[in-house]
Structure 1
């Protein structure tokens, strides 16, 4: 039975954790998998419930951190080598940048037959300055030479890796989209909608516009607030905005709301109606999605945001910035895109949906079918198993 050592940066809430969890749980039974990774960082929401629900017990290496730290990095590298020596994997598959560096270096040193890496985000722009980005590119090109295959999670990302940043040759880069268990978004929609809207004091005729995810600089919640403030003054409909999530820019976002004269409430700590509602994290994300009418994403940079896949699974049209792999996620008739930072265009896209209920209904119906097979975990595990089989044959030639 081929053994797979799967390594992730950290078990925080997001696409990579879902990806490794489903691959660990549902990969073809011919493979044995050991999952290891770092813990979530301060200010991040834990993904423990994802692993617990699937009965997965990962091995935690606390020294694996997002930022470069020579002491921790050396310790993590040493531990990974020890695990490889003991587990004797046929494949080491790393996910995201830090795990990708430490894991691939350790696997190459220990002469693991097959080394695979998945890029989950866009590490080459928006986050870092020019010098740091150039350094990361050099490191990734070196690591790509040590890899049997590189996995991009969208065609756009493959184009960036191959043609724009020249990280690896085209034949080495495979596109395998993320996969999720989306079944909870297909059922009990009306029941969940009534429950959420009752709890959060939402009237039948109010249109709810939600943004879901971590509050961080790169997510640019300021764009969301400015666009909402704009449509509040221009729309003939009753609109409310919901910010679902939490993070380091929470206070800053609240301050901007005050500057824009948007009345807001911290729910459920303060139970009253307001145009803007901060809910913090909601574990059962199908509830706010069912209760929403439009879902937004305003990021300056993204990989393949889970929130937009889940939104479409829940039958919600999307208004988003056109960054990262987002265009690959959206049916052209479901998502409305604008360039990052463009408040005017973002607000126009929102207003179009708010003022056109027939379009809102049409987009909603198309959304679910678009993602049902494309982002299902069964497709993910099937495609990954096929790739592993091919690489194992090549590795043992």
Structure 2
């Protein structure tokens, strides 16, 4: 098997340092095993994500972990803990045959003690798994995972911005600190990926990386996941008391401030006045749900707005909808819009993040240029009142989304990138003699670190 000599020497040097780490030795969790197919000739990728909550990053990391295997990759997916008020999407990884290792110390919130334990744990995993590539996803995992990779000398470090937290999340002081950290980390990162061209322009505009290092690779999806049993949408409507004849507009999002459900509801009030047969479906949950339920009453929409919590069967959700709506203040490449269009459902969205990379205004949906509820509400009503236009938008969106955002394209793009980066950084890209042949029996390596296997989750 080929590898980087410098990388191997650095790992050996760091191994003795980690053995002397008192914090690592104090880990109270039992040891678990990481399996390495040492004789398989695979390219080993350590993929790290802060948590497998509902959203695009969970789908993305699961698809890549599964889809790259036939091309000669062995991936270990490491994930943190999903918050109590977040939807858990670990089921999607399992459905793909991906079994993550869960770091109990890794979470969304900043916690110096837990974050240090996460750093040491990931360094220990790197020492055992010996990845050729560390690829991090989302902000928290991007910071801790890349720092661990830098400290252990991993030859190729990649980070994907699925969105960013540089506005609409934190105070100006904290935001400036995060931008400064990203600028420093960019110097040690071989490739910085964005999920769309507009997001790439944003990241470069913040002074993070350079035009050669920052690369746009759009998301990809297995659209077979959206296939649903005939009548599924009608059954969902019936279960929620939504008339089959109603025009149904829906929003699929975490109920948190950045998603701005208040704008959705105020737009719904205006749209309902213009198109009385409209009903509205809110898919998701979160900290703001009680406040949103109160706002529904205040807006006199109690008989029109339906909350259904998190759902695993999004194909059924989209088959029930006549249009999807997005009102976020900050987005990367909104997954719900791609899934909606790929289901033949037209969309109404605020112009935010990479929306324009997905939606062609007046062709596959409407894009509001302001955050005025009147504009968004009028667009919703326009689709409701002109079913022929809505059908045309949906059909065009179906064709475009399935062409541009396939999982096959994503996996091919990432494979080419990984192999180029390995060659540029002095590491041969091993290619198994037959990627379709059964892999040799793995070598079990015990790791004492603060993480748990799926069986102990």
TM-score of Structure 1 vs Structure 2, range by shorter chain: over 0.9
The secondary structure found in structure 2 opposite 1:261 is: coil
Q: Is the 8 A contact 1:208 1:239 kept in 2?
A: yes
Q: Determine whether 1:213 maps to 2:242.
A: no
Partner of 1:292: 321
Q: Distance between the aligned counterparts of 1:186 and 1:150, measured in 2?
A: 33
Q: After superposition, where does 1:213-252 map in structure 2 within 5 Å?
A: 213-235=253-275, 237-252=276-291
Partner of 2:148: 106
Partner of 2:35: none
Deviations 1:35-85 (A, max 9, x none): 102011120111121011112111111111222211011100001111111
Q: Is the 8 A contact 1:299 1:340 kept in 2?
A: no
Q: Distance between the aligned counterparts of 1:37 and 1:201, measured in 2?
A: 38
Q: Distance between the aligned counterparts of 1:390 and 1:234, measured in 2?
A: 55
Partner of 2:19: none
Partner of 2:117: 75
Q: Determine whether 1:177 maps to 2:207.
A: no
Deviations 1:127-168 (A, max 9, x none): 112111111111001000000111011000111111x10101
Partner of 1:9: 50
Deviations 1:311-336 (A, max 9, x none): 11111110111111111121331121
Q: Is the 8 A contact 1:160 1:166 kept in 2?
A: no
Q: Distance between the aligned counterparts of 2:79 and 2:311, measured in 1?
A: 24
Partner of 1:268: none
Q: Determine whether 1:361 maps to 2:361.
A: no
The secondary structure found in structure 2 opposite 1:229 is: helix
For 2:310, which of 259, 281, 306 is the aligned residue?
281
Q: Distance between the aligned counterparts of 2:245 and 2:129, measured in 1?
A: 58
Q: Is the 8 A contact 1:300 1:341 kept in 2?
A: no
For 1:328, which of 347, 357, 368 is the aligned residue?
357
Which of structure 1's runs of 4+ aligned residues deviate more than 6 A? none
Q: Distance between the aligned counterparts of 1:96 and 1:392, measured in 2?
A: 23
Partner of 2:23: none
Q: Distance between the aligned counterparts of 2:334 and 2:292, measured in 1?
A: 21
Q: Determine whether 1:196 maps to 2:236.
A: yes
Partner of 1:384: 414
Partner of 2:345: 316
* TM-score, structure 1 as length reference: 0.93
Q: After superposition, where does 1:334-373 map in structure 2 within 5 Å?
A: 334-339=364-369, 341-373=371-403
> Structure 2: where are the runs of 5+ without partners?
1-41, 428-457
* TM-score, structure 2 as length reference: 0.81
Q: Distance between the aligned counterparts of 1:131 and 1:208, measured in 2?
A: 42
Q: Distance between the aligned counterparts of 1:356 and 1:253, measured in 2?
A: 29
Q: Distance between the aligned counterparts of 2:318 and 2:141, measured in 1?
A: 32
The secondary structure found in structure 1 opposite 2:212 is: helix
Partner of 2:176: 134
Q: Is the 8 A contact 1:186 1:313 kept in 2?
A: no
Q: Which of 1 and 2 has greater Rg?
A: 2
Partner of 1:115: 157
Count of residue correspondences: 384
Q: After superposition, where does 1:86-97 map in structure 2 within 5 Å?
A: 86-97=128-139
Q: Distance between the aligned counterparts of 1:54 and 1:284, measured in 2?
A: 15
The secondary structure found in structure 2 opposite 1:241 is: strand
